[in-house]
């Protein structure tokens, strides 16, 4: 089969209008195992196929791209980098985006290979073309270019090639294309900056990080909304947070939140700014962040009282993030009755809001109420029990009602609330004393889709693995849970059939 493919490939090289041969080659090449192609890699002559890409013929180009995608998988990245340099450069200049994507996928293979990447770094023209691909209309092309440049920048030589040569000027020129392309370059810069302090230093020296931060704190509210997402990505790293603090950026973001009350357009950027602090708090210290930037907590509480579902959703998400660890839970507990009222609003939204907001509320509740076994002190257990009871007059009934709705996403989200509290003794007592709840737990007829079966199984597993469950549920019910667990999430009880004498 591989020999047939090679013969067809040689035939294609000799013909001026090889459409029929290309169709035949495509059919054969897909049937040849990749390991056979690799054995014949030394004999593959790909130049003619690349040259056929230069013809202005749609079907011919499509066939060549399909064939090359397959054949190039059999060729080592080093070979591609050394022997197909000119073809790669032509590919990046090709008017057909499928050819650019094919070329960038090969560049992606090359930059992942430590032996081959040097060939790219020593080819200034090719690097320049990759940079200019960021400015193309096709998002897939731009994303592939960003990914390759980001990968190149993982090495010292890559950082120097990108930031200590004319390539930096090319990057700045590409940014002038339009707003969308400028943000793509910022995305690349943040990706590179996030790798290490040294990478961040190269990016700040280039002036591009400073430019991003200037736009973040500028007057254009739509630009702010876009930039804060990228700055939040930078803040996921310790060195990124340090840099933002040293440059006074975190203080500036806090001040913008303070001034948001008098800004009629604050709804455009406020959600992103609040998310930024929520992530900052959980990555550093919730107590320190909330004490240093009290406006953040204040704004989150305010947003839960908003009439705007977008604001409520962001506030609920942020509360869930903030309360995902014990320190964050204690910060929220310190706000006293105010937080109890907030929980009541979350419970109300979980029952009455749109499906999307209901799910976000349920996810936040799961995050707030979960306590790992090693952190279950008497005080914290009393706190989560109190929070649960603040959500509604009968919180267990509320979540059972939601779990019975015929929407898999809501059903699963409600089950996750039960799973979050399943290892806490007070919750086990509530479940055991709720009529029909134990039967509901082991009833497999309730869940019909895979996600729901998985969610129910996780709930049963959390209960069955708890040290207090046998005492609270009693041994017979404990054994029913263990049986459910051992049978797995997708068990179907065999239906007994009875043979009737004389039946056909």
Query: Is the pLDDT score of 358 beyond 90?
Result: yes
Q: How far is CA 372 from CA 86, 375, 381, in A?
A: 58, 5, 11
Q: pLDDT (tens digit, 9 = 90+) per residue, 199-250?
A: 999 999 999 999 999 999 888 888 999 999 999 999 999 999 999 999 999 9
Q: pLDDT (tens digit, 9 = 90+) per residue, 32-76?
A: 776 766 666 556 667 677 777 776 778 888 888 888 888 888 788
Residue 208's contacts (CB-CB under 8 Å, 6 or more residues apart) are 171, 172, 185, 186, 189
Cα–Cα dist 261/175, whole Å: 33
Residues written for the chain: 504
Q: Provide Rg for the chain, Cα atoms.
A: 30
pTM score, whole prediction: 0.79
Nearest to 326 by CA among 366, 364, 280, 287: 287
Query: Is the pLDDT score of 16 beyond 70?
Result: no
% of residues, the chain, pLDDT over 90: 55
Most confidently predicted of 29-43, 284-298, 383-397? 383-397
DSSP 116: T
Most confidently predicted of 291-295, 460-464, 497-501? 460-464
Of 1-5, 119-123, 179-183, 230-234, the one with minimum mean pLDDT is 1-5
Residue 114's contacts (CB-CB under 8 Å, 6 or more residues apart) are none
Q: Quick one: three-class SS letters along 40-71? A: CHHHCCCHHHHHHCCCCCHHHHHHHHHHHHHH
Query: Is the pLDDT score of 441 beyond 60?
Result: yes
Cα–Cα dist 293/11, whole Å: 72
Query: Is the pLDDT score of 273 beyond 80?
Result: yes
DSSP 475: H
Q: pLDDT (tens digit, 9 = 90+) per residue, 302-336?
A: 999 888 999 999 999 999 999 999 999 999 999 98
Cα–Cα dist 379/411, whole Å: 31
Mean per-residue pLDDT, 455-474: 93
Looking at per-residue confidence, does 380 or 31 come out higher?
A: 380
What pLDDT sits at residue 458?
Answer: 95
Q: How far is CA 251 from CA 233, 261, 439, 461, in A?
A: 17, 17, 54, 45
Q: pLDDT (tens digit, 9 = 90+) per residue, 416-428?
A: 999 999 999 999 9
What pLDDT sits at residue 13?
Answer: 47
Cα–Cα dist 261/455, whole Å: 41
Nearest to 294 by CA among 326, 245, 247, 257: 257
Query: Is the pLDDT score of 381 beyond 60?
Result: yes
Of 59-73, 285-299, 442-456, the one with minimum mean pLDDT is 59-73
Of 2-6, 50-54, 184-188, 312-316, the one with minimum mean pLDDT is 2-6
């Amino acid at each position: 089969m591989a020999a047939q493919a090679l013969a067809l490939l040689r035939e294609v090289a000799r013909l001026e209008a090889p459409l029929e041969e290309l169709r035949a080659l495509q059919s054969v090449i897909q049937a040849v195992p990749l390991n056979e192609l690799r054995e014949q890699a030394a004999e593959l002559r790909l130049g003619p196929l690349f040259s056929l890409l230069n013809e202005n013929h749609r079907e011919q180009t499509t066939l060549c791209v399909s064939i090359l995608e397959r054949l190039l998988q059999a060729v080592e990245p080093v070979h591609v980098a050394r022997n197909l340099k000119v073809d790669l450069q032509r590919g990046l200049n090709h008017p057909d985006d499928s050819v650019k994507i094919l070329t960038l996928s090969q560049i992606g293979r090359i930059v992942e290979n430590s032996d081959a990447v040097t060939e790219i770094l020593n080819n200034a023209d090719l690097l320049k073309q990759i940079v200019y691909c960021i400015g193309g209309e096709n998002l897939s092309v731009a994303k592939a270019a960003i990914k390759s440049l980001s990968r190149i920048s993982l090495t010292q030589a890559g950082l120097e090639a990108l930031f200590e040569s004319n390539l930096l000027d090319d990057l700045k020129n590409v940014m002038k294309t339009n707003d969308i392309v400028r943000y793509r370059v910022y995305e690349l810069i943040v990706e590179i900056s996030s790798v290490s302090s040294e990478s961040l230093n190269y990016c700040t020296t280039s002036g591009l990080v400073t430019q991003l931060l200037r736009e973040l704190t500028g007057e254009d509210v739509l630009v702010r909304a876009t930039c804060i997402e990228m700055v939040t990505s930078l803040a996921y790293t310790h060195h990124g947070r340090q840099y933002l603090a040293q440059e006074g950026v975190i203080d500036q973001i806090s001040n913008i939140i303070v001034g948001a009350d008098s800004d009629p357009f604050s709804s455009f950027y406020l959600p992103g700014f609040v998310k930024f602090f929520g992530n900052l708090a959980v990555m550093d210290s919730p107590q320190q962040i909330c004490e240093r930037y009290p406006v953040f907590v204040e704004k989150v509480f305010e947003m839960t009282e908003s009439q705007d579902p977008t604001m409520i959703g962001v506030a609920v998400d942020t509360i869930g993030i903030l309360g995902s660890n014990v320190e964050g839970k204690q910060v929220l507990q310190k706000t006293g009755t105010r937080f109890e009222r907030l929980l009541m609003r979350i419970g109300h939204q979980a029952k009455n809001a749109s499906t999307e907001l209901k799910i976000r509320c349920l996810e936040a509740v799961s995050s707030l109420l979960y306590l790992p076994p090693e952190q279950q002190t008497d005080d914290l257990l009393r706190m989560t029990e109190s929070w649960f009871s603040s959500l509604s007059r009968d919180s267990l009934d509320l979540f059972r009602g939601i779990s019975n709705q015929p929407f898999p996403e809501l059903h699963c989200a409600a089950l996750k609330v039960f799973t979050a509290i399943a290892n806490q003794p007070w919750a086990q007592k509530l479940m055991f004393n709720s009529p029909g709840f134990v039967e509901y737990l082991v009833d497999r007829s309730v869940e019909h889709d895979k996600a729901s079966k998985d969610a129910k199984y996780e709930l049963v597993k959390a209960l069955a693995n708890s040290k207090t469950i046998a005492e609270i549920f009693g041994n017979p019910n404990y054994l029913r849970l263990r049986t459910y667990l051992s049978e797995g999430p997708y068990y179907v009880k065999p239906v007994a059939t009875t043979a009737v004498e004389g039946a056909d």
